[in-house]
């Protein structure tokens, strides 16, 4: 069974940093693109970043470029999101997502999400 379990969320002050982790199991992690998606309270879904299987290629949405960095450790079956210079508008539930290239890059498995609250 595919499982994605996020951790690392919490309350952080504006300007602060946080590192989210996602532990993957039930599939060959190194064989998949991975992604982070967030959802602000009561709002829609916002894609943040993708990372290729070997970590060599990464894509970011402009709103987090230069502040958020996606990375992975295939030996630990883990995905990460380093978030710096956090702002109030970064408050959201952050989802770790598996990307299925065989299904036209659909997001086929999602974690349960971890809540990040940016507030003083």
Partner 1 sequence: DIQMTQTPASVSASVGDRVTITCRASEGIGSWLAWYQQKPGKAPRLLIYAASSLQSGVPSRFSGSGSGTDFTLTISSLQPEDFAIYYCQQPNSFPITFGQGTRLEIK
Q: Return the residue of 16, 21, 30, 46 that touches partner 1, per CB under 8 A.
A: 46
Q: How far is the CB of 45 from partner 1 (least distance, A)?
A: 4
Tokens of 84: 């710096």
Q: Return the residue of 7, 13, 17, 112 that touches partner 1, per CB under 8 A.
A: 112
Name, in order, each residue with C-beta under 8 angstroms of 86's C-beta and a sequence gap of 6 or more. Answer: 12, 13, 14, 15, 16, 17, 18, 67, 116, 118
Q: Return the residue of 30, 110, 115, 117 that touches partner 1, per CB under 8 A.
A: 110
Residue ranges in 60-89 that form contacts with partner 1 under rule CB under 8 A: 61-62
Q: Return the residue of 79, 95, 114, 118 that touches partner 1, per CB under 8 A.
A: 95
Tokens of 72: 């992975």
Cα gap 34→51, rounded to integer Å: 5
If one asks whether residue 27 binds partner 1 (CB under 8 A), the answer comes out as no
Q: Containing H/E element for 82? A: strand 78-83
Minimum CB distance to partner 1 smaller for 59 or for 71? 59
């Amino acid at each position: 069974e595919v499982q994605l379990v996020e951790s690392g969320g919490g309350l952080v002050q504006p300007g602060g940093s946080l590192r989210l982790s996602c532990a993957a199991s039930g599939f060959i992690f190194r064989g998949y693109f991975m992604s982070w998606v967030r959802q602000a309270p009561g709002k829609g879904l916002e894609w943040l970043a993708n990372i290729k299987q070997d970590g060599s290629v990464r894509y970011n949405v402009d709103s987090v470029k230069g502040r958020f960095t996606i990375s992975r450790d295939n030996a630990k079956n883990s995905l990460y999101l380093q978030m710096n210079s956090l702002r109030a508008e970064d408050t959201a539930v952050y989802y770790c997502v598996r990307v299925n290239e065989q299904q036209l890059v659909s997001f086929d498995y999602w974690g349960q999400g971890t809540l990040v609250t940016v507030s003083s």
